[in-house]
Amino acid sequence: MSDSITFADLGLSAQTISAIGAKGFEKPTKIQSACIPLLLKDQVDVIGQAQTGTGKTAAFGLPILEIVDPSLAKVQALILAPTRELAVQNSEEINSLKGERALEIASVYGGASMELQLRKLRRGVHVVVGTPGRVLDHLRRGSLVLDNLKFMVLDEADEMLDMGFIEDIEEVLKQTPEKKRMLCFSATMPPAIQALAEQYMQQPEIVKIQEETMTSTLTDQVYVEIRESDKLEALTRLIDMEERFYGIVFCRTKVQCDEVGQKLAQRGYDAQALHGDLSQNQRESILNRMREKRLSIIVATDVAARGIDISDLTHVINYSLPEAPEAYIHRVGRTGRAGKRGMAITFVTPREYKRFTFIKRIAKSDIERITIPEAGQIIKAKRERIITKLLQYIEGAQVNAQFPKMADRLLHDREAKEVLAAVLEYVYKDELDFDKYREIVPSRERTDRDDNGMTRLFIARGRRDGLDKRLLVDYLIERVGAQDRDIQNVSVQDEFSFVTAPAKIADQIMETFNAIAPKDKPIITRAKPDNPNGKNLTRARRDGRRDRYEERRDRPYKKSGGRSGSSRRRYSSY
């Protein structure tokens, strides 16, 4: 398909084109170009295979918005996502694409107020985005009715199956009407998804987008480990280290944009905040100043930066880690263009390592770790730049006649070195002041962590204790107060399991669970560095040798109550 294709060429309405334009999107991605016409024109089921970050949400969201009937306040589209974060992200994205349509989009997921969700569903909703467990809860309560369903979407289907949601998904699908469109989007196509498609989809069209490098090879991507309180200091050091800094600093919120922009301006940088609270005239003024090089730094949110077209940006700074890989890819893509190299620098706090690791994997980029330059390094670099510029000026200067006379007066009865040193101090004193840089406290040491700031944990319970991946994650979240994104690399074997978590969360998990374990028999320990996945442990048990984690008669994850096939279970205590 031609690279010159536009959203208007895909058969979308003028109302939708207007909403897309307001978001700053110019051209459809490959998955959007392939799926949107198919979903608008043909009554077919679709399997879309493409990586995260390729615009899948709009690929199914835009046709849904075109076809759903605003006058019928019933659920006409249901979208299942593996995590609450993705459910919220999809809901917000679809909501931002609806334009002036009188459509209600609701997200439902565990960990949020059930009462608020019930109230919204009672008022009437057209599109529901949710996690399988919470959607199933609403179906059982009767608060979610699917009699008028036109679209059933499985987003990140491979992730949902890997997290143990297969039974919940099948239970949801059984409660959907036979006459509907079913869409399945996944990065990979394992046998389990193929089997699901064969059972629940009607001769689906398969749209497969070739995997490709998502970020420019001209952009050097690096990250720094930093505490939240040291970010501004780190930012100013990185700017000062460069001979020429001309870039965008991305923040998560409008408040943070204002704060960072104001503090940079107070320190003498040509910086300005750009966000949604500014009028169109203010926005245009800032962008014009940036294009004319009268500004060197824009501090922006992702939404405000959409549609910005500024050439020759040298840097993109992710002051706040983006919520999703798509946002990272869009940010980084603003530099390293037209044959010119650029640099993308991402600030990562200790609590963000898991999300950052996920972004790196999806973006398919080598993102190298760097350290923040010391004050001495910056001052030395500035001194060298000043000397180089002065020598270049001296070589080609056409000196006005008044300056040699002034030089004669300054040099009268004084040494030339003394005079020149005083002049340099007078001109560059503030720029070469060590005291303008405050100390940066090193980020938390990585004791018992891997290279991404994570800790691998061994859990002396497995499938024989009634565990699967989803149950284990839910139980850890329930007991420790962690979030879905804190628990990763889950492996459940017959008699033991492994998970990886940020160091602080891992410590909380061990403290919580081992406090209620039998004496001298800890339930959760740090995995051995030379055996992080339990190799040969099962074999030893098959030989009749039990390890020190003896199975208790009261298994901690015993199933009780609930309908057959549900992943929602009550847990007995240790």
Domains, the chain, with CATH or none: 7-208 (3.40.50.300), 219-372 (3.40.50.300), 376-436 (no CATH), 454-542 (3.30.70.330)
- Range from 59-68, 87-96, 270-279, 468-477 carrying the lowest mean pLDDT: 468-477
User: How many percent of the chain have pLDDT more than 70?
Assistant: 84
Query: What would the two tokens of residue 354 be?
Result: 């898991």
The stretch 351-368 carries a mean pLDDT of 80
- Which one, of 126, 105, 102, 128, lies nearest residue 15 by Cα? 102
Question: 415 or 474: whose pLDDT is higher?
Answer: 415
The stretch 314-324 carries a mean pLDDT of 89
DSSP conformational letter for 366 = -
Q: Which amino acid is at 70?
A: P
84, 86, 92, 97: CA torsion to nearest 10: -150
What is the pLDDT at residue 140?
93
What is the pLDDT at residue 137?
93
Q: Is 155 left (phi over 0), alpha (psi -120 to 50) or beta?
A: beta
Helical segments of 337-466, H only: 353-363, 375-396, 402-411, 416-428
What is the pLDDT at residue 398?
80
d(CA 492, CA 9): 48
d(CA 127, CA 341): 43
The stretch 108-115 carries a mean pLDDT of 85
Which pLDDT tens digit goes with each residue over 255-280? 899 999 999 999 889 999 998 788 76
What is the pLDDT at residue 149?
96
Residue 539 confidence class, pLDDT cut points 50, 70, 90 = very low
Residue 465 confidence class, pLDDT cut points 50, 70, 90 = confident
Alpha carbon distance, N-terminus to C-terminus of the chain: 59
The stretch 86-114 carries a mean pLDDT of 88
Residue 555 confidence class, pLDDT cut points 50, 70, 90 = very low
Element at 457 (helix H, strand E): strand 454-459
What is the pLDDT at residue 296?
94
Element at 270 (helix H, strand E): none
Q: Is the pLDDT of residue 245 over 60?
A: yes
What is the pLDDT at residue 282?
86
DSSP conformational letter for 19 = H
Question: 175 or 482: whose pLDDT is higher?
Answer: 175
Q: Is the pLDDT of residue 324 over 50?
A: yes
d(CA 448, CA 259): 36
Residue 559 confidence class, pLDDT cut points 50, 70, 90 = very low
The stretch 32-50 carries a mean pLDDT of 88
Q: Is the pLDDT of residue 517 over 80?
A: no
Could you give the strand order of the β-sheet that contains 297-300, starting from the edge strand earlier in sequence? 271-274, 297-300, 247-250, 315-318, 342-348, 219-225, 368-369
* Strands 181-186 and 151-154, sheet pairing: parallel
Query: What would the two tokens of residue 381 be?
Result: 């670099």
Q: Is the pLDDT of residue 287 over 80?
A: yes
What is the pLDDT at residue 339?
72
Question: 22 or 160: whose pLDDT is higher?
Answer: 160
